[in-house]
Structure 1
């Protein structure tokens, strides 16, 4: 009898924790963590403006190279981004430096970095839509397409890759 009760309790515990473990390994989790971090003004993902030493409107006249290194390390330390995504970010700043040397300025980004929109949905709205969206998983890649009622022509698409059993943001685009 005790063995039977133990087996039932063990089965129920496994069943109860399965959704939690599945959710922890969901491609949606890094996107959720990203937008949770974005809600904190002191978060390392909100510190990109410190990478620019001198600006004139949307033009970047001088980069702050030590802060770029710190910013990229902070992004890496979040554990949310793939090595390929981080390499692209580094390349972005290198390209900016080339434009500054060649033309005296580089054009700044005119949209939010993580929603690719000038008038992005609020973070709580992104999180609410994310909660209702099912990722499309094919092997070690996943795509999450977020659609918003208040922005019918706007789609936010996150590409994720599985690295060492963790889902990492590998790309962001919008349509």
Structure 2
């Protein structure tokens, strides 16, 4: 997790986290990935420990939401740290929504994934996973990191009316 995004200011309960995330997702442009995991896990630290082997996945309870085109979301769940993947296209309109997938082409999603067309449902799946698997009374031990979509150089960008600062402002950062 990144130091800039290491706690949920204003989200003291799981219900608050679900509401905040469900309300925020429709404003986030396609291509953005939001990773949730232990707020004290800092992947960029050198070294994590003396016996760290970068070929072994780092065990940690994690969830990830990838914002896709046309109001669709990919929710991924795992017991290891997931990479922010780069998909060929963020249009998953031909994928079957609301169907669990256990197979994972990247190998880092250990507990399945699902496409959903409802921001509230995506938030609920993500938060319920963290809540149920952690057994914690609240989300204060979890943090998040955001991988922003970037435009190819030389092409006109689209003004999505959203920024990372807007997202963080909703959390009180």
TM bucket, shorter chain:
under 0.3
Structure showing the higher helix proportion among its residues:
1
Quick check: which has more Rg, 1 or 2? Answer: 1
Larger relative CO (CA 8 A, sep 6+): 1 or 2? 2
TM-score w.r.t. length of structure 2: 0.27
TM-score w.r.t. length of structure 1: 0.27
Structure showing the higher strand proportion among its residues:
1
